[in-house]
Structure 1
Amino acid sequence: MTATDHSIELIKAAAQAAADKLAHDIIAYDVSDVLSITDAFLVASAPNDRQVKGIVDGIEEALLKELGTKPVRREGERDGRWVLLDYIDIVVHVQHSEERVFYALERLWKDCPEIELPADAVATRGKGEEHAKLYAAEADGDLS
């Protein structure tokens, strides 16, 4: 079993919306062979709570406008550290960078096939690490 064309379309639109809102390290997995409740997961992250919320809002807006779909469930918004959008066919995880490292969802789904994403989304890979290094340098007072 593989993710449906509709699920792939949702994932790609969500990934592009996340990239447009400057999400980091966007990746998607086809989990249809291992889970019966959804076809695919999209994971993205941001360095602060406000940006997490902005990415989530951007994804919701894009999927509603482009594909006429709304999430059936939205969890974690109040804290802004890890927001889950459940569209039944796909589940979107937008995490604060610290939660992303701690929970390491990629390790859980590494054996699942990656879904090809738009170039803008692929270009975000490694941005979280770059941001973390810059933040550490700022905290140390070393901006050379």
Structure 2
Amino acid sequence: MTVPDSVLQHVRIAAQAAADKLADDIVAFDVSQHLAITDVFLIASAGNERQVGAIVDGIEEALLKIKVKPLRREGDRENRWVLLDYVDFVVHVQHSEERTLYSLERLWKDCPAIHLDIDLPAPVDAQ
């Protein structure tokens, strides 16, 4: 991988923040060999628009704590697919339906996956 360790650290903080907000299917890809504009795509999803917004807010808050701000935030009006551009990495938080429809993993399947090493919350018992 050609992604700098500092970028990987930020991606893992973002991934953990997404997990803390109960994001589904959190994955990251090293796209540095295929794109000149960024090194990593982090992708997460949620089942509804409110949760998409909460995940995005959680990621931004976690990264702001270490003084990392996005260059731009797009798509937060509908909260179906929100993109946070941090230059070295881009976060995509998608509604589950958009995630299935656009299938970013299929588009970037030739790129190496990045091990995120995040703690997932314990499942909630449905009683």
TM-score scaled by length of structure 2: 0.92
1:54 corresponds to 2:54: yes
What are the equivalent positions in structure 2 for 1:95-134 lying under 5 Å apart? 95-120=94-119
Aligned AA (2:6)? H
Corresponding position of 2:34? 34
Corresponding position of 1:19? 19
1:87 corresponds to 2:86: yes
**Secondary structure in structure 1 of the residue aligned to 2:119:** helix
TM-score scaled by length of structure 1: 0.81
Corresponding position of 2:74? 75
How many residues are aligned here? 122
Aligned CA RMSD, in angstroms, stands at 1.5
Gaps of 5+ in 1: 124-144
Shift of 1:120: 2.3
Shift of 1:91: 0.1
Shift of 1:10: 1.1
Q: Please say if residues 19 and 118 of structure 2, whose CA atoms lie closer than 8 Å, have aligned partners that are also in contact.
A: no
Q: Please say if residues 15 and 118 of structure 1, whose CA atoms lie closer than 8 Å, have aligned partners that are also in contact.
A: no
C-alpha separation between the residues in 2 aligned to 1:61 and 1:109? 27
Q: Deviation above 6 Å: which 4+ runs of structure 1?
A: none
Question: Which is richer in helix?
Answer: 1
C-alpha separation between the residues in 1 aligned to 2:6 and 2:40? 11
